[in-house]
């Protein structure tokens, strides 16, 4: 054992020796605790050194201290993982419709549903003979006046979303009855049907919304006019599904039994598609475009910018003038042109974004390369006779990497924004495939009645872009050499 410092000392020998010394009642310092150091020079003694770290280790240490950037980074990671995993875990796909469940509110529990036969609930219409009602001439109504209103309206059986049946007391002198349904207790709402005077019951077979309260009223009429409305029949129908729909939820469903529907954690959209499934499937598209497009155009930018910046002279001039021209064209125009030419789809969007944005990143990389080219280490490499490609790959690229990485993280929210914007105006992803832009677009259409359909995807999108922005800022702070030692 040749101890030169404390770290090389082995702990097991230490404990053995201390036991031995305790037995003698005298505590001798274990050998190796005190070590004679040979000091080479005064300078080595005086200098305060910290462990030497590489550029990337240093950057990692810095960004670890930036708590906000770390939170954002983890959020992005979680978002990426859930975009990959969540759509597989959900019991439904993004384009699966539940026609009975449109515009559902967010809920964590399923709803019990009654299974009914394919052709609905069996129902026997109740009839009366209008003549028997006025058998007693003293009760005969005044033919110059509108009839009286029915005095009672009664529910038949239970109210279901596929069938609400009810009967009412017949009115003497009525030529027929008119049924109204409303979701507000103070208005009559929409007239559903006119019935003849013989029929005194009705079954509403239009598919209703579960959990909504409906108010039915019956008016009797004759040629003199309508009666006042009958007392309201208010029902909250229970969800009922046809056997075919129920089989998709639970294979063992039978007519008359009950099944539980799947919970929709974020509700459903206007076609009864689950919003969570759509947002998560949309995350695949939006994040995919947001990550891939900048990756491609920044790669092109690196190659173009490096060549242009390093070559200099006429080649640089021509290459940069070309990039100038491309970058002055408004990006929306390029995107729409490509869109017109190739039709809509994720690939088109990526291609369009690449064509529109590569020039800007090439200009930025070139600026950075120009700065590097004049630095001492490149001059030194040139003097030593290093070959062209080696200078670019060993000396320029690693040093440009920091700037490029920052450029990349800050380009991602921009590309996501562009995708959302284009899908929002209907030029991006084609339905039924969702992207965050198209989900918000669909939510925006029903914003006033069902605000959550816009608010939830908008929040998811904004928070993700926020996370990318904060992470990019944090990355720039820790990679930017100008800020070295600022904190």
Partner 1 sequence: MKYLLQRIMLGVLAIFLVATVTFVLMHSVPGDPLRQEKAIPESVRQNLEQRYGLNKPVLEQYSIYMSRMFLQGDFGISFKQANRSVNDIIRKHFWISAVLGIMSMTGALLFGVALGVVAGLNRNRWPDYVAMIIAVVGVSIPSFCLAYFVQHFFALQLKILPVAGWEGFTSAILPSMSLGMIVMASMARLMRSSMLDVVQQDYVRTARAKGLSRFQIIFKHQIRNAILPVIVYFGPLFAAITTGTFVIENIFGIPGLGQFFVNSVNELDYTVIMGLTVFYAAFSIVIILISDLCYSLIDPRIRLAQ
Across the chain, which distance is largest between two alpha carbons, in Å? 132
Beta-carbon contacts of residue 445 (< 8 Å; ≥ 6 apart): 270
| Distance, CA of 236 to CA of 163 (rounded, Å) | 12
Single out the segment in contact with partner 1 by CB under 8 A; choices: 209-217, 261-269, 308-316, 332-340: 332-340
Taking residue 189's Cβ as centre, other Cβ atoms within 10 Å add up to 15
Pull the structure tokens for residue 74.
């983890």
- Residue from 64, 213, 321, 371 in contact with partner 1 (CB under 8 A): 321
The mark string for 76-105 relative to partner 1 (x by CB under 8 A, - otherwise) is ------------------------------
Residue 52 CB-half CA count within 13 A: 0
Residue 483 in contact with partner 1, rule: CB under 8 A: no
Q: At 215, which helix (H) or strand (E)?
A: strand 214-222
Q: Identify the burial level of 75 via C-beta atoms within 10 angstroms of its C-beta, where 0-12 means exposed, 13-18 middle and 19 or more buried.
A: middle
Nearer to partner 1, 392 or 470 (CB): 470
- Residue from 454, 475, 478, 479 in contact with partner 1 (CB under 8 A): 454
The mark string for 462-481 relative to partner 1 (x by CB under 8 A, - otherwise) is xx-xx--xx--x--------
Residue 139 in contact with partner 1, rule: CB under 8 A: no
Q: Tell me the site size for partner 1, rule CB under 8 A.
A: 36
- Kindly state the smallest distance separating residue 56's Cβ from partner 1, in Å: 25
The mark string for 362-401 relative to partner 1 (x by CB under 8 A, - otherwise) is ----------------------------------------
Beta-carbon contacts of residue 423 (< 8 Å; ≥ 6 apart): 429, 435, 436, 437, 438, 441
Residue 447 in contact with partner 1, rule: CB under 8 A: yes
- Residue from 287, 420, 439, 478 in contact with partner 1 (CB under 8 A): 420
Residue 335 in contact with partner 1, rule: CB under 8 A: no
- Residue from 224, 405, 421, 432 in contact with partner 1 (CB under 8 A): 421
Single out the segment in contact with partner 1 by CB under 8 A; choices: 29-37, 181-189, 280-288, 445-453: 445-453
Residue 444 in contact with partner 1, rule: CB under 8 A: yes
Q: At 474, which helix (H) or strand (E)?
A: helix 452-479
Between residue 336 and residue 355, which ones bind partner 1 under the rule CB under 8 A? 336-337, 339-341
Nearer to partner 1, 392 or 416 (CB): 416
Nearer to partner 1, 305 or 443 (CB): 443
Nearer to partner 1, 43 or 374 (CB): 374
Nearer to partner 1, 174 or 412 (CB): 412
| Distance, CA of 403 to CA of 372 (rounded, Å) | 12
| Distance, CA of 267 to CA of 274 (rounded, Å) | 6
Nearer to partner 1, 321 or 387 (CB): 321
Which of 377, 351, 206, 363 lies closest to 292 in space, CA to CA?
Answer: 351
| Distance, CA of 173 to CA of 415 (rounded, Å) | 71
| Distance, CA of 24 to CA of 162 (rounded, Å) | 95
Q: What SS3 state is found at 447?
A: coil
Nearer to partner 1, 25 or 330 (CB): 330
- Kindly state the smallest distance separating residue 346's Cβ from partner 1, in Å: 19
Taking residue 356's Cβ as centre, other Cβ atoms within 10 Å add up to 24
Residue 427 in contact with partner 1, rule: CB under 8 A: yes
| Distance, CA of 28 to CA of 302 (rounded, Å) | 65
Nearer to partner 1, 268 or 464 (CB): 464
- Residue from 330, 383, 385, 389 in contact with partner 1 (CB under 8 A): 330
- Residue from 20, 81, 325, 380 in contact with partner 1 (CB under 8 A): 325
- Residue from 73, 413, 428, 474 in contact with partner 1 (CB under 8 A): 413
- Residue from 38, 47, 314, 328 in contact with partner 1 (CB under 8 A): 328
The alpha-helical segments, DSSP class H, found in 312-435 are 313-328, 331-342, 346-373, 376-383, 388-390, 397-424
- Kindly state the smallest distance separating residue 234's Cβ from partner 1, in Å: 29
Residue 2 in contact with partner 1, rule: CB under 8 A: no
Where would I find the beta strands (DSSP E) of 223-347? 225-226, 233-235, 240-242, 258-260
Contact between 327 and 361 (Cβ < 8 Å)? no
Residue 458 in contact with partner 1, rule: CB under 8 A: yes
DSSP for 47-85, please give it.
--------HHHHHHHHHHH-HHHHHHHHHHHHHHHHHHH
> What pairs with residue 225 in β-bridges?
222
Nearer to partner 1, 229 or 437 (CB): 437
Residues that bind partner 1 (CB under 8 A): 321, 324-325, 328-333, 336-337, 339-341, 413, 417, 420-421, 424-425, 427, 440, 444, 447-448, 451, 454, 458, 461-463, 465-466, 469-470, 473
């Amino acid at each position: 054992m040749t101890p030169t410092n404390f770290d090389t000392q082995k702990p097991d020998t230490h404990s053995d020796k201390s036991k031995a010394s305790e037995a003698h009642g005298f505590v001798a310092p274990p050998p190796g605790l005190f070590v004679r150091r040979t000091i080479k020079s005064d300078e080595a003694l005086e200098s305060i050194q910290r462990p030497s770290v590489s550029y990337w280790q240093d950057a990692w240490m810095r960004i670890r201290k930036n708590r906000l950037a770390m939170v954002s980074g983890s959020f992005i990671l979680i978002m990426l993982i859930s975009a990959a995993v969540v759509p597989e875990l959900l019991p439904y796909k993004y384009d699966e419709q539940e026609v009975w469940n449109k515009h559902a509110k967010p809920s964590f529990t399923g709803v019990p549903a009654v299974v009914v036969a394919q052709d609905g609930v069996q129902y026997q219409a109740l009839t009366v003979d209008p003549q028997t009602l006025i058998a007693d001439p003293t009760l005969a109504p005044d033919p110059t006046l509108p009839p009286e209103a029915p005095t009672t309206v009664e529910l038949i059986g239970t109210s279901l979303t596929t069938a609400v049946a009810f009967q009412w007391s017949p009115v003497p002198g009525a030529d027929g009855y008119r049924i109204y349904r409303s979701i507000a207790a103070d208005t009559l709402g929409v007239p559903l049907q006119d019935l003849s005077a013989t029929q005194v019951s009705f079954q509403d077979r239009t598919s209703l919304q579960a959990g909504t309260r409906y108010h039915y009223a019956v008016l009797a009429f004759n040629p003199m006019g309508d009666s006042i409305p009958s007392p309201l029949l208010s029902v909250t129908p229970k969800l009922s599904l046809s056997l075919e729909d129920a089989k998709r939820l639970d294979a063992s469903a039978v007519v008359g039994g009950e099944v539980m529907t799947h919970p929709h954690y974020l509700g459903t959209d206007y076609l009864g598609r689950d919003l969570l499934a759509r947002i998560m499937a949309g995350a695949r598209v939006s994040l995919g475009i947001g990550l891939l497009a900048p990756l491609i155009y920044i790669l092109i930018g690196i190659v173009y910018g490096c060549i242009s910046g390093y070559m200099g002279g006429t080649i640089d001039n021509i290459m940069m003038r070309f990039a100038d021209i491309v970058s002055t064209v408004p990006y929306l125009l390029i995107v729409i042109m490509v869109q017109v030419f190739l039709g809509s789809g994720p690939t088109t969007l990526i291609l369009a974004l690449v064509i529109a944005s590569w020039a800007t990143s090439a200009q930025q990389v070139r600026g950075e390369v120009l700065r590097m080219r004049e630095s001492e280490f490149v001059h030194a490499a040139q003097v030593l006779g290093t070959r062209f490609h080696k200078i670019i790959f060993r000396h320029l690229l690693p040093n440009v990497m920091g700037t490029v990485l920052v450029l990349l993280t800050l380009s991602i929210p921009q590309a996501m924004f562009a995708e959302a914007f284009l899908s929002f105006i209907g030029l991006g992803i084609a339905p039924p495939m969702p992207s965050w832009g198209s989900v918000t677009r669909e939510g925006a259409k029903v914003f006033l009645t069902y605000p959550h359909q816009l608010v939830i995807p908008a929040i998811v999108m904004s928070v993700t872009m926020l996370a990318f922005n904060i992470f990019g800022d944090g990355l720039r702070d820790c990679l930017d050499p100008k800020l070295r030692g600022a904190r």
